[in-house]
Amino acid sequence: MYVYRRQVAVEKGIATLLALALVLWVMGTHMFMQAAEAANLTYIKDTLSNSAPSETSNHTIEFLSPTGVTAAQTITVVIPSTFTGSSSVNEDDVDFEINGTDETVVDGAPGAAEWGLTWSGNTLTLTAGASESLASNATATIKIGTNADAGGAGAAQLTNPVATTSYEFTVTAGTADSGQYRVAIIDDVLVTANVNTTLVFTITGTTTAVTVNGSPTTTSEISTSETLPFSTLSPNVSKVLAQHLSVQTNARNGYIVTVEQSQNLQSSTGADIDGFSNGTYITTPAAWSAPTNLISDENTWGHWGLTSTDYVTGRASEFSSNTWVAASTSPIIVMGHTGPSDGATAGIGTAVVGYQAQITALQEAGDDYNTTLTYIATPTF
């Protein structure tokens, strides 16, 4: 009995050793086979310029190959068939960079210092020329679309699929390295907002001794937002008054400000001070001139007009220094801008409008000459 038990123990030990050897042999073989398999690309991504369904988009594919690519070997990018347009993409639409440096890409078979580009369906293949390679762990970048600018301006792009989901691409570098990545096609996000319209139009008076738009005659009276008091006019002496205008608006297409009079400066007796010049009511700005004082023509006994420091872009006849037009019952543009204004910047949001009156000794007497001016600010949103 003792001998039998010992023999069994020995046999069990041998069986255990055989089993362990078999396990080690299997594991060693498996580990060796694993070592011989292809390596994964250690870094891979694809940046799209537009991820909306059915829209054209650029692709910027970047990856690192642990093994690299040698002469005559290839880099392939397998693009899902739901991305269309590859048949229109040629070497002008594809750039290949290694560590940020552009490589020469040609259609078809490459020369020694070139990479050859071919398409097979939706598979893009770059073949290294005899003196070309991709070093181990060098950064490789493939650009497809209008982002390709080396050797020619890219024009053709791939078109995204209709369905909103993610799609798998496969990149293979040389004979050893490969990897997969996904891009997501998603609907655009509509962002909406509302911005309230704004318009602040302010009129303020000016003090005395203010020069208006180059006029040699400075202001002689204090004006307010509602009054322009010329007071007593003396023959052959011009008088100037002014008002400061300010416009603040967020109107995209800007604004204009016009002014019009209700009538000529008129007294209760019916006498009037006509429009510049000599009652001709000129609309093209001209240098100031005195009334001519013809006894036979009451229109020449006195006149008044206006000027502005704002040279309105787009108006047929702009004010320049010391030029004037007649005050009129028709709107006259005295201020404007083609975009939003801040109410503070000269020529954009502020202007000074000057009014000048001059009479001769023949102008009829009267202590109540008056008219009403109406300013209108019109923004275009």
Task: Locate 269 and state its tokens.
Answer: 């007796």
In the block, tokens 């909103």 appear at 164
Q: Report pLDDT for 11.
A: 42
The set of residues, in sequence order, having a beta carbon less than 8 Å from that of 377 and lying 6+ positions away, is 199, 201, 247, 255, 256, 257
Q: Report pLDDT for 317.
A: 54
Closest CA to 212 of 38, 334, 58, 122: 334
Sign of the CA dihedral 276, 281, 287, 293? negative
Please give the model's pTM, rounded to 2 decimal places: 0.63
Q: Report pLDDT for 313.
A: 54
Q: How many residues in the chain?
A: 381
Task: Locate 208 and state its tokens.
Answer: 């005395």
Task: Locate 193 and state its tokens.
Answer: 């907002």
Q: How many CA atoms lie within 13 A of 344 on its CB side?
A: 1
> Which option is the CATH number for 39-184: 3.10.450, 3.30.310, 1.10.287, 2.60.40?
2.60.40
- The letter for the amino acid at 236 is N
Q: Report pLDDT for 138.
A: 96
Residue boundaries of the structural domains of the chain: 39-184, 199-379
The answer to whether the CB of 301 falls within 8 A of the CB of 291 is: yes
336-361 b/e with 16+ CB inside 10 Å = b?
bbbebbebeeeebbbbbbbbbbbbbe
Three-state DSSP class for residue 103: coil
Q: How many CA atoms lie within 13 A of 139 on its CB side?
A: 9
The answer to whether the CB of 207 falls within 8 A of the CB of 222 is: yes
Task: Locate 379 and state its tokens.
Answer: 């923004």
Task: Locate 368 and state its tokens.
Answer: 């109540």
Q: Report pLDDT for 21.
A: 38
Q: Report pLDDT for 17.
A: 36
Mean pLDDT by 10 residues, the chain (381 residues): 36 39 38 46 94 96 96 98 96 97 97 97 97 96 97 94 96 94 92 92 98 96 97 98 97 94 97 97 95 97 96 64 95 93 94 98 98 96 91
Q: Report pLDDT for 318.
A: 79
